[in-house]
Amino acid sequence: MWSHPFWQQHFYGSGTQASQRLEKYAQVFHTVEGNTTFYASPSPATVNNWKAATPESFRFTFKLPKSITHQNMLNGCQDELKAFMSLMEPLHNKVGMWTIQLPAAFGPTHLEQLKKFRRYFPAQFPLGVEVRHPSFFAKGEAEKALNQWLNEENIDRIIMDSRPLFSAERTSEAIIDAQQKKPRVPVHAISTGNKPMIRFIGHPEMDANMPFFEPWIQKLPTWIAEGKQPYVMIHTPDNNYAPELALAIYQRLQSVITLPDLAAFPAQSDTNQLSMF
């Protein structure tokens, strides 16, 4: 996401127009999780605007439409998938990963549907799959079968880390809403492809997140040393201060591995002003 209204003052700056937000976002961060395509397909003009607003090095991760993944459970979607990928063609070179987010109802009995759907997806495009059915986290035969197939196909299993969120007391509507909507699944820190993705759902208090992120401080450099390109997506219950949390986590990573500095937030002349968080 890059159009969160709350970011207008503290991240973008009050003079930023809505049409300028993606361009300014891409001046700071390297990637974005494009949830918008899950809910509705953009217009061709919008796709071209996204391309023009971002540098060649920027990477989107777009979810496939929910009509494919949730409503049809990957069945009979060849034409819809082809139309969606054709629509997104101007951005193909800027997509770090296409993601299939599956509902909790999509369980082991549906695995063959996923395998069949894979054959319709362009083989050269990086692909990630997020599962939510409990059997895929039970370390039994169902999870072994899934992981083995993902490894064989070089498909990344997207990792949901919602521990910080569910450690928070239910003291606000944002926390209650997020805990109702986000899955509470075990964290299995495995990489089945070359671009492991972590979706980190943070605690509303900035400092409370770091103990939960410490295991990733060890894992991420290991993956990088193996030649992998990890993706780390940062959320908070209301996402109001997600950019600040992302910055803090990035700076913590810089203490253990060489990474370039992030540019200052457009609304800030000095990132030190963010130390209050």
Residue 258 phi, psi dihedral angles, 5° rounding = -75, 120
Residue for token digits 């609304």? 267
Whole-number pLDDT of residue 275: 42
What contacts 47, CB < 8 A, 6 or more positions away? 87, 88, 90, 91
Whole-number pLDDT of residue 268: 84
Rounded distance between C-alpha atoms, residue 204 and residue 165, angstroms: 8
Residue ranges of the chain with per-residue pLDDT less than 50: 270-277
Domains of the chain: 29-157 (3.20.20.410), 158-261 (no CATH)
8 A C-beta contact, residue 146 and residue 158: no
Whole-number pLDDT of residue 123: 85
Whole-number pLDDT of residue 276: 37
The tens digit of pLDDT for each residue in 29-81 reads 999 998 899 999 999 999 999 999 999 999 999 999 999 999 999 999 999 99
